[in-house]
A and B are shown apart, each in its own frame.
Chain A
Amino acid sequence: MALTVRRFDAIVVGAGGSGMRAALELSRGSLKTAVLTKVFPTRSHTVAAQGGVAAPLGNSTEDNWHWHMYDTVKGADYLGDQDAIEYMCRRAVEVVVELEHMGMPFDRLENGKIYQRPFGGHTQDYGSAKMAMRSCAAADRTGHAMLHTLYQQNVRSNTQFLVEWMALDLIRDPQDGAIVGVVALEMETGEISILQAKAVVLATGGAGRIYWASTNAFINTGDGIGMAARAGLPLQDMEFWQFHPTGVAGAGVLITEGVRGEGGYLLNKNGERFMERYAPNAKDLASRDVVSRAMTTEIKEGRGCGPHGDYLELKLSHLKPEDIIKRLPGIREIAIKFANVDPIRDNIPVVPTVHYQMGGIPTNYMGQVVAPEGNSKEAIVPGLYAVGECACVSVHGANRLGTNSLLDLLVFGKAAGEQVIKDIRGQPTPHRNLPKNADENSLTRIDRLNAANGGERVVDVLNDLRRTMQAHCGVFRFPDDLQKGVEKMKEIAERSKRIFIADKSKVYNTARVEALELENLVETALSTMVCAEARKESRGAQARADFPERDDKNWMKHTLWYKEGNRLEYKPVHQRPLTVPTMEPKVRSY
């Protein structure tokens, strides 16, 4: 039976910060746009971001985009593309000020300007010991405030949302590989449709659910990552996963770095402020990879807290109670609910917890997806764009700085929207013809799930996948673990082909959604393990026991993973910025 086909100028897949920022640009540009989203827009995971969005406004300390750029290049352990980083830092003030004009409820300074707090790795004067107050904050609910503000602006601009729709696959024109639409599932009715468009913007967020302990929401299943991989596109730098230093022990819920920005610090079981040993200058405000490694070392060497010595403590009880209530109210709520402690009096038990994927779908800084083709390592894939956590621009390289993710959403959401408008206005013809069998891949999967009455349970395969990632690809990585991890992940990928669901209902079938999500998690996890095993060095979030040093001679390059053949390729890092001199790699210390 032929599927319903709906036509749009542009489709945005995902309604988090980057998707909604892109959609806003498209709606304001009068393009017929649909935003497809698994959850109501304000339920997207941007809502959970806490500490702030980076912009060198200089409201409290002197600042400029050059310093911000330097910190980002260094934070990325020199794997970030310096043209994209310059672009992001130069547009930071513009997009944050714009957000304020949209109604974002930023906290304020006495003079009425936006309140800014220090954050890890953000310094003054090219990495000096003085921290920059660069994180623009709405208490510790910055992501929530931003997501709601962007949704509100989209309501104002009459953006069309397809709420509780899940995108399943990209549709590619076999002639030139251009993307001409997506196949999607409407969850309420179970109906599958083809959404045809001149531009598809993937904004599906991260896939932190591949780990057992994660700060990520249930919905963060890497749907765009899976779609790209199945469409034959490469995934870039998937080995780099950020462990956030402060997830609530046992619960995984995020405690913002803003706690340390406001003066909180970490303690081991001896009550020692151990970060002073690992990062004498920045201490608790060193980069996240540095702090997470220090914490893991403390635990491994027997200085962890609690009866099992398996966590550390985050102290903020020395701060004024009124400051905690004003600046960190959400954290206090989380600590009381999830850790049974009131941080006004007691320390919060924390452990490094998976938080953010630096890798993703390769793009340039206009949001256009790029892939090797012919002589070019970065040929543009016509019609496809990716923004936010699912994209790898790459501005975060091997390690992202706190508050740069919300900035990334704004800058590249807007940039991709601008680029789509430019590209579509240049296209004379209305829509390309859909290729034959445009829906085949999706329907095959759906039909198999409908028909299967036995096999592997989704929840079992999922749990094994998450446990394998946790055990084999953690803060420190060991060669044996990685090699075994690759084999295990291949087995899990095979098992995922035999999954079944008991629920065959058409109406709001969440079992079906979870089964489809599992396939996306499998692509994400397998690519992560393979890329991590292959990279024989330590850089940013990849810390290998057998190769403890960064190796710029052999490994200053981006990894590209292809699903077909589980194959790897590499491409150079853009070390040349747009206008300023290259920031040369140096030994990275804080």
Chain B
Amino acid sequence: MKLTIYRYDPDKDAKPYYQDYDVPVDSHDRMLLDALVKAKALDDSLAFRRSCREGVCGSDAMNVNGKNRLACITKLAELPDHVTLRPLPGLPVIRDLIVDMTQFFKQYHSIKPYVINNDPPPERERLQSPEDRDHLNGLYECILCACCSTSCPSFWWNPDKFVGPAGLLQAYRFLADTRDQATNERLDDLNDPYRLFRCHTIMACADVCPKNLNPTKAINHIKDLLVKRTV
């Protein structure tokens, strides 16, 4: 198969360029990551992140023929014979397919991604009904791969002010947790023209999420909570 890959090494390249690789894939190669590993065996200077190779660590998010995906769970059989790989859009490129995710994580950290509960901890586990626990499904599974935020035009325009779909999905994960007591504080923080309300329901996030999560839905739940609080 043919891979056309975005290349840029600030140590030697004046500007980015595209390089073609003819990768000899065989029946053992199932996923796009397998092809990338083979390309790297041909040219060790090709740089990309990868780790778990099963879609749970979130390292190898990249733009595949225009769509953000995880290379390790993108089946070769479902791709055309010619694939163009670019780094995730909207973030600074460090090298080749490796982007600087500082801004993305900064937004994640800004929503206080931890349960806040100021009661003294009981001797045993805090109780939570199975129904209440079910509210966390579709939220806690996020792997922070950034496929969603980097396909969101609102995040491209205001990455410093708009929390972005990944951060907001996590904001709702803690709002939805019955053990968390910081609902008002969290809503105050998000009730802002940029942090939450830059979401214009474009839904690119839900379209690309490799874990089939739906940040748009979570964002709407946050908006509902804000409305309910005022009435």
Chain A interfacial positions (CB closer than 8 Å to B): 39-40, 42-45, 47-48, 57, 97-98, 100-103, 105-114, 138, 141, 144-145, 148, 152-153, 155-156, 188, 217-219, 250-251, 253-254, 330, 333-334, 337-338, 457-459, 501-503, 505-511, 514
Contact = CB atoms under 8 A, between A and B. Distances in A.
A502 B44 CA distance: 7
Contact of B52 (A43, A57, A153): A43
Interface stretch (B17-25, B129-137, B219-227): B129-137
B98 interface: yes
Contacts of B117: 101
Contacts of A57: 124-125
Contact of A108 (B28, B57, B115, B130): B130
Contacts of A109: 130
Given A43-B52, A103-B177, A155 B114 contact: yes
Given A108-B129, A338-B54, A459 B113 contact: no
Nearest to A220: B51
Contacts of B177: 103, 105
Contact of B51 (A217, A457, A507): A217
B75 interface: yes
Contacts of A114: 125
Contacts of B140: 105, 138, 145, 148
Contact of B128 (A112, A148, A152, A459): A112
Nearest to A250: B28
Interface in B48-76: 48-59, 73, 75
Interface in B1-21: 9-12
Nearest to A155: B109
Given A144-B141, A153-B114, A156-B114, A505 B45 contact: yes
B57 A39 contact: yes
Interface in B184-226: none
Nearest to A513: B47
Given A505-B45, A507-B94, A507-B95, A39 B54 contact: no
Given A108-B133, A508-B98, A42 B45 contact: no
B14 to A, nearest CB: 14
B50 A337 contact: no
B136 to A, nearest CB: 5
Given A217-B57, A508-B94, A43 B51 contact: yes
Contacts of B126: 100-101
By Cβ-Cβ distance, the 6 closest A-B pairs, closest first, are A112-B127, A103-B115, A503-B45, A511-B44, A152-B114, A43-B57
A105 B114 CA distance: 11
A514 B46 CA distance: 12
Contacts of B80: none
Given A109-B130, A155-B109, A505-B9, A97 B124 contact: yes
B161 interface: no
Most chain A beta-carbon contacts within 10 A, residue among B57, B105, B129? B57
B44 A501 contact: yes
26 contacts: A40-B59, A40-B101, A43-B52, A100-B125, A101-B125, A103-B115, A103-B180, A106-B125, A108-B130, A108-B133, A112-B127, A112-B129, A113-B127, A144-B143, A145-B140, A148-B140, A153-B114, A155-B113, A155-B114, A338-B54, A507-B94, A508-B95, A510-B44, A510-B47, A510-B48, A511-B45
Contact of B133 (A103, A105, A141): A105
B44 A458 contact: yes
Contacts of A43: 49, 51-52, 57-59
Contact of B94 (A102, A112, A188): A188
Given A47-B56, A48-B54, A507-B9, 18 more contacts: A40-B101, A40-B105, A100-B125, A102-B115, A103-B177, A103-B180, A105-B136, A105-B140, A112-B127, A113-B124, A144-B56, A217-B51, A217-B52, A333-B55, A337-B75, A507-B10, A510-B47, A511-B45
Nearest to A161: B105
B41 interface: yes
Contact of B50 (A97, A106, A218, A330): A218
Contacts of A503: 44-45
B204 to A, nearest CB: 22
A48 B57 contact: yes
Contacts of B47: 508-510
Contacts of B113: 152, 155
Most chain B beta-carbon contacts within 10 A, residue among A45, A148, A333, A514? A148
B159 to A, nearest CB: 17
A485 B56 CA distance: 34
